[in-house]
Chain A
């Protein structure tokens, strides 16, 4: 007869006839792992509430595993450097962890996470390049002279070409286009995230679309 008994935290004792042996713990026998497995079934909001009530890091770890790939790929896309992207991902998740209690469920958790990600990356680029024109109010206040580009012109662009176009336009323009068309953030959410007015963001998107189409025409229709 084989008897399995779980001893607090780390080891399992197996008594097999005359022999008793300490067995290396399996993943499922580890309390935090098993909690993590059951936590996987919860929604983001439930996980946050459970974390806040229990302070059990396994719940936060599940949130991390859900979003780390998305956040990391966005960081690489905007920062264009793997080392910087790693540091950025760590900083972003630390910020998320420290502000979990402040997440008011006014928006989806994913929207909140992406807002923090874009905000961090844009701030970083602004500081590094000292590029005041990344989101300058001067450009926002300029008269509207650009033609309106239909959404379909960008949405139906071939993926490889879109990738090239996004690499050629300024990071600020790329970020607003990704926020709107990739992550479905509303104008209001983008404005809050970048600390700008809604009309300034509308103008920014309009100009970004125009720049993207101009780059596309320059590269691919010549």
Chain B
């Protein structure tokens, strides 16, 4: 059975085989921007949240070099070592 609607569509497609180039240009531009934003959100947002959390955390963790390690058999907390340099200093003092 003939279908004039289909013929009408074919005529329209012959007249406009593609949308104007500027449509594709703008569309692919926004596709790339969307993909970029998606990648940024996917890759960096979780890390950013960690950074912000550590920045605004109420408890300040002491730097590692200030942590004093207890010596074996030493019960006096003032003698606790804070790192490898302390051992060298002890030797120099001896």
> Measuring CB to CB, which residues of chain A are less than 8 angstroms from any residue of chain B?
55, 57, 60-61, 64-65, 68-74, 76-77, 86, 89-90, 93-94, 97-98, 152, 154-159, 162-163, 166, 177-178, 181-183
Contacts and interface: CB of A to CB of B under 8 A. Distances in A.
Interface of B: 1-9, 11-13, 15-20, 22-24, 26-28, 30-32, 34-35
Contacts of A68: 18-19, 23-24
Nearest to A60: B31
B29 to A, nearest CB: 10
A69 B28 CA distance: 16
Given A152-B1, A162-B5, A182-B6, A89 B34 contact: no
B9 to A, nearest CB: 5
28 contacts: A57-B31, A57-B32, A61-B24, A61-B28, A68-B19, A68-B23, A72-B20, A72-B23, A73-B15, A86-B19, A86-B20, A86-B22, A86-B23, A89-B19, A90-B27, A93-B27, A94-B30, A97-B34, A98-B34, A155-B1, A156-B1, A156-B4, A159-B4, A162-B8, A163-B8, A181-B5, A182-B5, A182-B6
Nearest to A177: B5
A69 B19 contact: yes
B4 A55 contact: no
Contacts of B3: 155, 181
B24 A77 contact: no
B23 A69 contact: no
A39 B5 CA distance: 31
A159 B28 contact: no
Nearest to B9: A182
Nearest to B7: A159
Contacts of A70: 9, 13
A154 B16 contact: no
A90 B20 CA distance: 10
B4 A155 contact: yes
Contacts of A57: 28, 31-32, 35
A93 B30 CA distance: 11
